[in-house]
Structure 1
Amino acid sequence: MPNSKKHPGGRPSAYQEEYAELAYNYCLLGATDAQLGEFFKVSARTINTWKKQHPEFAQALLDGKTAADAKVANSLFNRATGFSHPETKVNVYEGEVIKTEITKHYAPDTTACIFWMKNRQPDKWRDKVEVEDTSLKADPEMMERLAIEFEDRMKKARERQRLVLIERGIIEN
């Protein structure tokens, strides 16, 4: 048995001390509790039990997830604001390898900016627009006049289009 402690009323826990470090590393890769359960071949409920019974395990998960989230947030911030980094460019000239140190620049990415703002200031940047009900009622007589005017304008536009097509020799009169 991996853990020799006696657990009254149940079977011994499969938890091992090295699981904290393994869980930390897996959380750095973005693992969820359900994925940790699959990794350790236990249920998500067991992962929750281990978090309650082993503070070092719970802390490892928290630290790993926090570090991974911080890295992703930093990458998103860099994409949203633009960034630069050093790079070595390698060229071959007349059979000789030439290495040139350059600074590569990336412009801000609009999609990352929008994503950032929608999450940081949802009231100002959300897609859903709240529209107040102005209780404007359509006057049936006005709607009829608009429909007649629309039809008249469309007839005139079709006639202008027909004359242009005749003038260009596309259709015959």
Structure 2
Amino acid sequence: MGNKELYPVMVEPYLDEVEELSREGYNEKEIAYVFGVSERAWRTYKKKYEALSAAIKAGRRKSQKEITNALYKKATGFKEQVEELVAVKDAQNNIVRHDLKKISKYFPPDMGAIRMWLNYRHPDKWGERVLDRQTEIEKVREVYKKRESQKWNALETARALEIEGVAIPESLRLELAKETKETITTLESNSIRIVLPSELEETSEG
């Protein structure tokens, strides 16, 4: 079966799964691998079939919204029901056991999240510096080239981007979350706005 026949059989029936993988932070190379499609064929399908391109973009938008909401929550502080061990004492004030109970716990605003939110939402007023958009994209590309050659992990890549003074791409934020088991990283950033992977692709195609 040639590549031209793969889309209606191996991709089109699973566009919901494509969107979900995109939302979870998988890049297009990884998604293509999941569906057994070559990178070249995947790029062709994306240009030819609007539904595929739309599914990828929809997943990214959902991911960005979830992370933005989580960042706002962390920047403003929040209450959450958590389970904690509570000591139970007898009449003589001796601890006799510990019971697991749900309690409402307040998490105060996080300064790193506040800084990131202000830089992202109000760069003109709070951003440390504003980079030309094209310059920012080129810097991200250069860092990713070094990442590939030097086998950097997500944290090392994020630090390199910070040194360059550019934003951390959305896909890298998701990698960081997976590495650290946190939704939002607390890395200090000189970023002004998020550089989405789609913008890098559109620039390279142009």
When normalised by structure 1's length, the TM-score is: 0.57
Residue 12 (1) aligns with residue 11 (2): no
Letter in 2 for 1:48: R
Unaligned runs of 5+ in 1: 2-9, 130-173
Pair 81,42 (structure 1): closer, same or farther in 2 beyond 3 Å: same
Q: Tell whether the 8 Å contact from 2:3 to 2:41 is kept in structure 1 after alignment.
A: no
The aligned counterpart of 1:61 is 56
Pair 22,80 (structure 1): closer, same or farther in 2 beyond 3 Å: same
Shift of 1:78: 0.9
Supply the distance in 2 between the matched residues of 1:128 and 1:66 (Cα, whole angstroms).
26
Letter in 1 for 2:120: N
Greater CA radius of gyration, 1 or 2?
1
The aligned counterpart of 1:89 is 84
Shift of 1:47: 2.7
The aligned counterpart of 1:115 is 116
The aligned counterpart of 1:28 is 23
Q: Which structure would you say has the larger RCO, counting Cα contacts within 8 Å and 6 or more residues apart?
A: 2
Pair 75,118 (structure 1): closer, same or farther in 2 beyond 3 Å: same
Letter in 2 for 1:114: R
Letter in 1 for 2:103: I
The aligned counterpart of 1:71 is 66
The aligned counterpart of 2:190 is none
Q: Tell whether the 8 Å contact from 1:82 to 1:109 is kept in structure 2 after alignment.
A: yes
| More helix by percentage | 2
The aligned counterpart of 1:49 is 44
Aligned counterparts, 1:159-170, within 5 A: none
Higher mean C-alpha displacement, 35-44 vs 61-70: 35-44
Pair 28,11 (structure 1): closer, same or farther in 2 beyond 3 Å: closer
Q: Tell whether the 8 Å contact from 1:19 to 1:57 is kept in structure 2 after alignment.
A: no
Shift of 1:23: 1.2
Supply the distance in 2 between the matched residues of 1:41 and 1:28 (Cα, whole angstroms).
19
Supply the distance in 2 between the matched residues of 1:77 and 1:99 (Cα, whole angstroms).
30
